[in-house]
């Protein structure tokens, strides 16, 4: 959980999300053209210079929502208190801008996804439309085995083309896909990192175990978001590993500060995909230098508390619950 990077400070004023570059047209899976326009930041105002932070900095992305789940983007540094192992830390870095993200897309390519291909393609298009032009993506497809289908690229046309070319078959090696995603994320160029999983069932073919993957996630600085396309009769007409699927995805997401979205109606998949993408871009980034001396292998529990004016309604903060200390 140690960084040596450049973090851009917060932009004061509004960042335009409507400025669009010329559209790129992709050949869609079902004979129609899909137009995807990447966002660019407003360049009318000059952005402040980036500043260097030292390698001892711990970064905690925080997503704040209302009770109904709407993102809250109006908080300031003084609205956050951050604790490590119950000891309050000084927040030395506070950012809330449209910073680029490194994203790993993990797509379930098992046989049960065959009749969902059209909506999966629409979901991918919706996700990529909200991308910052400086984002980078990689793609992992998983069935009987997890495979890196596309290494890091900022070319959203290539990402989309690879997704729609996936041909579902075989079983589901979900945990292997997460493990591969964590390893490939080590090549990321951005401070903010996330894995986005799209799957319709539990794991029934992985070589990696659940605890092994959970530990690897806690050692990393990667958030997990998941879209779970679960059948309505999951609890009665499916094998145990598929019945365990929702709990598995929920646990992987929550411990990293991400979220699981259960998709009961596949028609809502594109809208949920877009929502996840926008959530990733409406996070606060809190940075601190731990007061404790380095102890490699020691688990550090993190807690973020919101300090709000009395007139504000209750809000909820999503953040990673802790990390394992690593070599400096």
Domain at 214, CATH number: 3.40.50.410
The most distant pair of C-alpha atoms in the chain lies apart, rounded to whole Å, by: 59
Give mean pLDDT, residues 90-103. 92
CA distance 134 to 97: 13
Contact 147, 141 (CB under 8 A): yes
Nearest Cα neighbor of 108 from 181, 32, 31, 191 is 181
| Residue bearing the bigger pLDDT, 42 or 35 | 35
Ramachandran sector of residue 171 (left: φ over 0; alpha: ψ -120 to 50; beta: rest): beta
Pull the structure tokens for residue 29: 């899976």
pLDDT bin (cut points 50, 70, 90) of residue 293 is: confident
SS3 of 201-235: the string is CCCCCCCCCHHHHHHHHHHCCCEEEEEECCCCCHH
Q: With bands split at pLDDT 50, 70 and 90, how would you rate the model's confidence at 14? A: very low
Own/partner pairs for 15-19, CB < 8 Å, 24+ apart?
Answer: 15/41, 15/42, 15/97, 15/98, 16/41, 16/42, 16/44, 17/98, 19/43
Q: Specify the pLDDT at position 27.
A: 40
* Mean pLDDT within 148-165: 96
How high is the pLDDT of residue 37? 61
Contact status, residue 177 vs residue 193, Cβ threshold 8 Å = no
What whole-number distance in Å separates Cα of residue 227 and Cα of residue 171? 18
What is the distance, to the nearest Å, from the Cα of residue 323 to the centroid of all Cα atoms in its chain? 17
- Average pLDDT score over residue span 90-109: 93
Q: Which of 275, 249, 271, 266 is nearest to 65 (CA)?
A: 275
| Model pLDDT for residues 240-259, shown as the tens digit of each residue | 788 888 999 999 999 999 99
Task: Give the residue-averaged pLDDT of 283-293.
Answer: 92
Q: According to the model, what pLDDT value does residue 244 have?
A: 87
Cα separation of 76 and 98, whole Å?
Answer: 16
In sequence order, what E strands does the chain have? Answer: 5-7, 24-27, 33-36, 51-53, 58-65, 80-84, 87-89, 91-95, 101-108, 136-142, 146-153, 192-199, 223-228, 260-262, 284-288, 299-306, 316-319, 322-324
* Of 105, 103, 130, the residue nearest 120 (C-alpha): 105
- Beta strands 192-199 and 223-228: pairing type? parallel
pTM of the predicted structure, to 2 decimals: 0.82
User: Rounded to an integer, what distance in angstroms lies between the CA atom of residue 92 and that of residue 59?
Assistant: 10
C-alpha to C-alpha distances, 216 to 83, 84, 179, 254, nearest whole angstrom: 22, 20, 8, 15
What tokens were used for 164? 């729609």
Give the residue-averaged pLDDT of 208-222.
94
Short-list 32, 92, 36, 96, CA closest to 62: 96
Cα–Cα distance measured from residue 99 to residue 41, given in angstroms and rounded to the nearest whole number: 9
CA–CA separation, 323 vs 218, rounded Å? 5
Tell which residue, 317, 286, 307, has the closest CA to residue 79.
Answer: 307
Question: Does the structure show a pLDDT above 70 at 102?
Answer: yes
Q: Which residues are 322's β-sheet partners?
A: 301
Residue-range definition of the domain harbouring residue 313: 1-328
Structure confidence by residue, pLDDT tens digits, 69-94 = 999 999 999 999 999 999 999 999 99
Q: Tell me the β-bridge partners of 198.
A: 107, 227
Number of domains present in the structure of the chain: 1
Nearest to 62 by CA among 312, 285, 289: 285
């Amino acid at each position: 959980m140690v960084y040596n990077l450049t973090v851009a400070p917060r932009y004061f004023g509004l960042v335009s999300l409507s400025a669009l570059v010329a559209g790129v047209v992709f050949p869609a899976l079902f004979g129609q053209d899909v137009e995807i326009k990447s966002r660019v930041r407003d360049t009318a105002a000059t952005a402040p210079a980036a500043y260097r932070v030292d390698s001892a900095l711990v970064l905690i992305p925080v997503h704040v929502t209302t009770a109904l789940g709407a993102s809250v983007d109006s908080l300031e540094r003084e609205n956050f208190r951050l604790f490590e192992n119950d000891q309050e830390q000084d927040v030395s870095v506070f950012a809330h801008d449209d910073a680029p993200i490194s994203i790993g897309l993990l797509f379930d390519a098992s046989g049960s996804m065959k009749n969902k291909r059209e909506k999966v393609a629409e979901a991918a298009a919706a996700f990529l439309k909200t991308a910052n032009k400086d984002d980078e993506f990689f793609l992992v497809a998983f069935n009987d085995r997890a495979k890196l289908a596309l290494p890091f690229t900022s070319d959203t046309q290539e990402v989309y083309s690879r997704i729609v070319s996936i041909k579902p078959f075989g079983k589901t090696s979900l945990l292997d896909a997460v493990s591969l995603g964590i390893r490939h994320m080590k090549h990321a160029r951005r401070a903010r990192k996330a894995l986005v999983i799209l799957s319709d069932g539990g794991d029934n073919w992985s070589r990696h175990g659940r605890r092994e993957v959970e530990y690897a996630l806690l050692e990393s600085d990667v958030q997990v978001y998941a879209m779970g396309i679960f059948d309505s009769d999951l609890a009665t007409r499916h094998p145990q590993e598929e019945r365990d699927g929702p709990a598995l995805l929920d646990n992987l997401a929550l411990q990293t500060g991400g979220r699981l979205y259960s998709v009961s109606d596949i028609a809502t998949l594109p809208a949920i995909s877009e929502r996840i993408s926008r959530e990733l871009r409406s996070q606060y980034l809190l940075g601190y230098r731990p007061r404790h001396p380095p102890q490699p292998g020691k688990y550090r529990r993190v807690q973020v508390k919101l300090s709000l004016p009395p007139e504000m309604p209750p809000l909820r903060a999503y953040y990673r619950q802790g990390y394992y200390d690593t070599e400096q």
